[in-house]
Structure 1
């Protein structure tokens, strides 16, 4: 009997499962251990039970009954159909309902109905679905907005309390600045923020509280919103004079115009203050008094004062405070300057004019002098802007060199290079009008006792120089005379620099082959000394030397004589003295090592320099903020400035050309010059010399010296008292130190 029943059951299952899936309308015979009566209605032996399932999982009801019957499943009175969602099938002694990928909507009551011709039986069970926890998507942070700005306050000294209040939407944190410095709480100062309103409370007001206050709010999105205001503090206008018993009046500012000024970068900004009484007038930016120089001009007269910022820079933007003072009191007022960072040089094409220079400009004080000319301050009549006028005296045969410099500078608009504004030609020479740069030479700036030099500062300066060189190379220009004297600071009030002096610069077009024999011995590349073809990498060698000197105060290849220096350059051998480079990071050394490579093809490109990790450093093993000694750098500057030229520096070329103003202007920092430029496939013979058997004849003190193209061979053939010439180019355009001389130093 058992075998027969098993056979019947197996036959039934096979019959109802077709191709792995149950048939649509199964008739099931549930086997039992005893003989069943086909005339008996089916009855459940095991009823379906309550099921629990996690969302996304499979839920399965199981039931078993006695007899032969048709099986159906319902949910809330609706008959379920066989599909991918619901699978109904028998297996062994049971019948199953399988629900795949359940969701919360599948929860509820399910009923199994077994029926035949005699009767039916039903059984129900509940399915509960546990929803998978899904955190609500975090809404995107809302935009940070300023709802209520800060308002300027004007109070009397001794006022018990002043409150500054502003309102933000969607701010997470706020902090306060006073003249750009972050504020902290103390007994007189309290700061609060409740998520909406930010408040600064200052008690017992005094003149020390005069400042620009700024509230800075930040958001989760990384946004930043600022609002600022000015606090001015005045004393009682009537104070008692203890000596005379008379009542004397403290000064009062009648007006400051304009109170809010916007200019473009490079334009002049002028403020005028009208006041009462016999007073002293001072201008401040923050707590620091403005020190007048060639660019920042303060002119005070009785009852009126002027403050002019020539060639306004983006860094000049901010709030300035003018204070008028006498022995009875003071008065103050704040003004704002906005500088739009839009270059006035963009799109300017300079044509050399033959008109009278003085019809358009007012020539002012001399600020520098050289063998071939001088540099003056000048004011453009049409705009009242301050410029530098380089006046060059030259003969007709030297004029092409000056025109080359003008052509190279024309169209240079980058903030890190000296920019050309105008040019005039006369029978006796040229006047080149450029930006006026009054911050002095970079190296002289950093050796000042008030300047704290760190490795981070050096990286900052080198990054700026690299930006300027990258711009020049993108314009197909090789500078060929990068050295400390040609790196100037824009102003004394900031650390921004400019690259100047394009007297030796060359344009390198695709297909050009250029060979030169000029430069400054300490900074020229091996390919120049060896009279090989130069490339953009020639400037990169000079950058490596500048960086080495900046960090150490030593030039890596300097010898006892210029000849020895040139030999050292061709050998490209140097080291990092342990005592000098003890506090210098390995990344800085790596930067130098990748530039001071003898084979120019293996040096970093200027793009590689800008990507080098050292230029972006903030800290290096806690040492990068350590102050670097500038004693050796002071010695280096003094040696270059005061070195007396040796007889070698008076070397003349075979055509009788004399030394240029470059060696003179650099105080004996010697140069030497010879050039050869041709396009591949076409040789252009230099004007200054002739070629014979691959040698270049030079004259020194009337005696010929044979200078072969490979300078190393030349060095070995020279006697100890016959050094290589260090004379500069005969071009009168080289004036690297003209722009760096202040009125006082000149």
Structure 2
């Protein structure tokens, strides 16, 4: 059957007694699809909650709900509802502990069936419920004791210039978190504690959340929300053979939601890269922003310069030593969008010196063949973020209203261009090379961008550069004293510090 066969058909039957007619409409059956899957949900004990799914299909699919793989039937507390055009809701009233479990929704029609499952949690601890649902939390002060007294530390999840992140399990509850452990000398403590201060002011579903903190002499540890789905690019997009422009728009909009919250509360992220885009749980499409080590409070009337960051993602005002505001984050979003759609950074050079020089020049274009397959709205979105002048860039609220995101409000056509992951895979390899070279071994690292202008390697973090405290030198044995004339002694032995001017003659 073809698309041209769709339409109304009429059957006519006649005999000597008369005529009968019957009209029928012939359609092509469409496989059921989720426009919105139900999200992992937390309900406070004895309160009400719901799971919601948006499902389409032709003909309209039959919907069934299950709990722990057993069919669910309506009762006095649990109701299933349908709201046109495609919203299906499971409502739970007066929730009790036994309502907790794995809930599944299955949609079936003549073309086939689909299903998805999600956990529903019932909480009797109000503080934990507030944390899980992003309610208002108390200020978290760093404790002056060891984190290992309360948490078991597991595998390494990743490392950056500032610290190493491990999987952590809270012994008292069995809950999973991530532990970001930072070591550094006293002069670096303000940098390490800055992230704690910033995260205390953040509480949004698209931002990694702070749970606990510890502060010892040369060690600051942040216990933060675990994004078990890993990095968006490395652990998700690159697991596929292709993705679509719609997929990227979906993730970028979530990143903007997180930035919108930050900017509304006066915070700038200031260090956004593709590595900071994380997925909440395995198999989910829920995105969270992470790594607030460079974040700061923004005073629009007294902007200050920014001397740190990954060269590929810094804005022209950073390179030009100008005051940096919220528009710096929007430039980074433009770079990230360009990278995700094309697998290439328009400003990347052979080294950091060349990269920063290209950003200072500000020239870029949609040169690759891939851009002929990207919508005009997608290209316009990037162009309005990669404006050289900070004042010409869209702010986050304008970006969220851009027509590029209108595609997310309509049904997929099934004819969207499939972007191969080959280019993005090559870019990720280059990104990893830079990150691995810059990452700390143990001690906190922070080198200024201007370092690439003076070091022979032309890199911010030179390869092989020593960045951990040097070991205390061993004391050398004093030279033996001989009963000879002074001038003879000096001619045979010269102290290693003498030429440096550290020892002066008393004569």
How does the TM-score come out when normalised to structure 2? Answer: 0.65
Offset at residue 514 of structure 1 (A): 0.5
Higher strand share: 1
SS in 1 for 2:221: strand
Cα distance in 1, alignment partners of residues 256 and 401 from structure 2: 10
SS in 1 for 2:143: coil
Offset at residue 585 of structure 1 (A): 0.1
State yes or no: 1:595 paired with 2:434: no
Report the equivalent of 2:448.
673
Determine which structure has more spread, i.e. the larger CA radius of gyration.
Answer: 1
* Contact residue 490 and residue 496 of structure 1 kept, 8 A: yes
Cα distance in 2, alignment partners of residues 620 and 589 from structure 1: 21
* Contact residue 234 and residue 428 of structure 2 kept, 8 A: yes
Report the equivalent of 1:627.
418
Offset at residue 636 of structure 1 (A): 0.5
Are the structure 2 counterparts of residues 582 and 642 from structure 1 closer, same or farther at C-alpha, using a change threshold of 3 Å?
same
* Contact residue 227 and residue 278 of structure 2 kept, 8 A: yes
SS in 2 for 1:625: coil
Report the equivalent of 1:29.
none
How does the TM-score come out when normalised to structure 1? Answer: 0.46
Are the structure 2 counterparts of residues 640 and 213 from structure 1 closer, same or farther at C-alpha, using a change threshold of 3 Å?
farther
Report the equivalent of 1:432.
222
Offset at residue 561 of structure 1 (A): 2.4
Cα distance in 2, alignment partners of residues 343 and 259 from structure 1: 20
* Contact residue 483 and residue 546 of structure 1 kept, 8 A: yes
Q: Structure 1 stretches of 5 or more lacking a match?
A: 1-176, 192-198, 201-208, 230-256, 263-270, 272-282, 288-314, 319-335, 650-658, 675-695, 702-720, 733-746
| 2:440 corresponds to which of 655, 661, 668 | 661
Cα distance in 1, alignment partners of residues 255 and 466 from structure 2: 27
SS in 2 for 1:515: coil
Report the equivalent of 1:723.
458
Cα distance in 2, alignment partners of residues 430 and 566 from structure 1: 32
Report the equivalent of 1:405.
195
State yes or no: 1:383 paired with 2:173: yes
Cα distance in 1, alignment partners of residues 212 and 298 from structure 2: 24
Give CA deviations for 1:153-212 in whole Å, capped at 9, x if unaligned. xxxxxxxxxxxxxxxxxxxxxxxx999786969xxxx98xxxxxxx99xxxxxxxx9766
Q: Write the mapping of 1:231-630 to structure 2, written as runs, cut at 5 A.
A: 259-261=98-100, 317=118, 343=133, 346-369=136-159, 373-450=163-240, 452-577=242-367, 579-618=369-408, 625-630=416-421
SS in 2 for 1:533: coil
Cα distance in 2, alignment partners of residues 405 and 498 from structure 1: 16
* Contact residue 662 and residue 671 of structure 1 kept, 8 A: no
Offset at residue 438 of structure 1 (A): 1.5
SS in 2 for 1:465: helix
Cα distance in 1, alignment partners of residues 246 and 413 from structure 2: 11
Report the equivalent of 1:710.
none
Offset at residue 366 of structure 1 (A): 3.6
* Contact residue 53 and residue 88 of structure 2 kept, 8 A: no
Report the equivalent of 1:638.
429
Are the structure 2 counterparts of residues 522 and 473 from structure 1 closer, same or farther at C-alpha, using a change threshold of 3 Å?
same
Cα distance in 2, alignment partners of residues 524 and 440 from structure 1: 24
Offset at residue 224 of structure 1 (A): 6.3
Cα distance in 1, alignment partners of residues 302 and 229 from structure 2: 37
* Contact residue 412 and residue 419 of structure 1 kept, 8 A: yes
Give CA deviations for 1:395-434 in whole Å, capped at 9, x if unaligned. 2221111111111111210111111111111123111110
SS in 1 for 2:222: strand
Give CA deviations for 1:632-660 in whole Å, capped at 9, x if unaligned. 00110012113598xxx8xxxxxxxxx76
Give CA deviations for 1:22-59 in whole Å, capped at 9, x if unaligned. xxxxxxxxxxxxxxxxxxxxxxxxxxxxxxxxxxxxxx
- Larger RCO: 1 or 2 (CA < 8 Å, sep 6+): 2
Cα distance in 1, alignment partners of residues 189 and 218 from structure 2: 10
Offset at residue 460 of structure 1 (A): 0.5
* Contact residue 525 and residue 541 of structure 1 kept, 8 A: yes
Q: Structure 2 stretches of 5 or more lacking a match?
A: 1-51, 75-79, 108-115, 124-128, 469-507
Offset at residue 567 of structure 1 (A): 1.6
SS in 2 for 1:503: coil
Are the structure 2 counterparts of residues 567 and 398 from structure 1 closer, same or farther at C-alpha, using a change threshold of 3 Å?
same
* Contact residue 213 and residue 221 of structure 2 kept, 8 A: yes
Offset at residue 316 of structure 1 (A): 6.7
Are the structure 2 counterparts of residues 475 and 631 from structure 1 closer, same or farther at C-alpha, using a change threshold of 3 Å?
same
Give the stretch that moved more between structures: 616-625 or 572-581. 616-625
Cα distance in 2, alignment partners of residues 511 and 533 from structure 1: 10
Offset at residue 723 of structure 1 (A): 2.9
Cα distance in 2, alignment partners of residues 350 and 412 from structure 1: 12
* Contact residue 345 and residue 421 of structure 1 kept, 8 A: no
Number of paired residues?
Answer: 389
Are the structure 2 counterparts of residues 391 and 601 from structure 1 closer, same or farther at C-alpha, using a change threshold of 3 Å?
same
Are the structure 2 counterparts of residues 662 and 502 from structure 1 closer, same or farther at C-alpha, using a change threshold of 3 Å?
farther
Offset at residue 443 of structure 1 (A): 1.1
Are the structure 2 counterparts of residues 643 and 602 from structure 1 closer, same or farther at C-alpha, using a change threshold of 3 Å?
closer
